[in-house]
Amino acid sequence: MNIEPKDELLYGQACGLWGSDAQLLMLVEECAELQQALLHLRRHRVDVKTVAGELADVLIMVEQVTCILWAHNAVDSAKAAKLQRLRERVAAAQSKRDTGATEVDL
């Protein structure tokens, strides 16, 4: 995971002030707020700008937790594997769609 050095320094300062446990819990809280914003978006109770703000909060906390856990390389490896799996699933679904096959046929 490529995190800007100035951001990594800031994340270290935040962790120093509030502790790693608090920052881990903050990620959980921010994920819950994003979940709620997405549900509200479906019902037209919030706009995309609100969701974008929640996404930004989650991304910041994900970067902080990555730094706390020293998991930069592990996150990169896991992300690459999951993107490959997604590519395979998309290709398989497109192939099914193009051939007219249904899940029952397979």
- Cα(85)–Cα(106) distance, rounded to whole angstroms? 19
Q: Is residue 28 packed enough to be buried (19+ CB in 10 Å), middle (13-18) or exposed (0-12)?
A: exposed
Residue 105 confidence (pLDDT) above 70: no
Same domain (yes/no): 85, 62? no
Same domain (yes/no): 78, 55? no
Q: Which domain holds residue 19?
A: 1-68
The number of domains in the chain is 2
Same domain (yes/no): 16, 33? yes
Q: Does 106 fall in a domain?
A: no
Share the mean pLDDT of the chain. Answer: 95
* Half-sphere exposure (Cβ direction) of 3: Cα atoms closer than 13 Å: 25
Q: Does 32 fall in a domain?
A: yes
Same domain (yes/no): 10, 41? yes
Same domain (yes/no): 2, 22? yes
Interval 56-86: pLDDT, tens: 999 999 999 999 999 999 999 999 999 999 9
Residue 104 confidence (pLDDT) above 70: no
Same domain (yes/no): 20, 60? yes
